[in-house]
Amino acid sequence: MGITKTQHFTGEQNRLAALAKALGHPARIAILQHLLKQQACICGDLVSELPLAQATVSQHLKELKAVGLIKGTVEGTSVCYCIDKQNWEEARDMFLQLFSSPVTCQENCC
């Protein structure tokens, strides 16, 4: 079919999957890394930073905004983007929790 059966999974599983999916593209990783590196916020500089057309970058920004990892504010003609601190920390905590479980599987296991 091609449509994910979200109903059958927990809200946490769906949320974490949505966050991971948003991180699942090198361009979006690059955008986030750039926003983290800059002390101030960035707008269309991202387009010149990335090897992608303006329309494509705008689309990636839209996806990151959709899951809440970034937020944007209009500043005159341009738009200022930055990390959404609250959701970013929520994401960090969810990934941290997933990876905090000890891996009990040994070498000889499997």
Applying CB under 7 A, which residues contact DNA? Answer: 1-5, 21, 24-25, 27, 43-44, 47, 52-56, 58-63, 72, 74, 76-79
> Does the protein bind a copy of itself through residue 91 (CB under 8 A)?
yes
Is residue 53 within 8 Å of 92, Cβ to Cβ? Answer: no
> Does the protein bind a copy of itself through residue 30 (CB under 8 A)?
yes
Out of a copy of itself, DNA, none, what residue 108 binds, judged by CB under 5 to 8 A for its kind, is: none
| CA quadruple 30, 33, 34, 39: dihedral, nearest 10 | 170
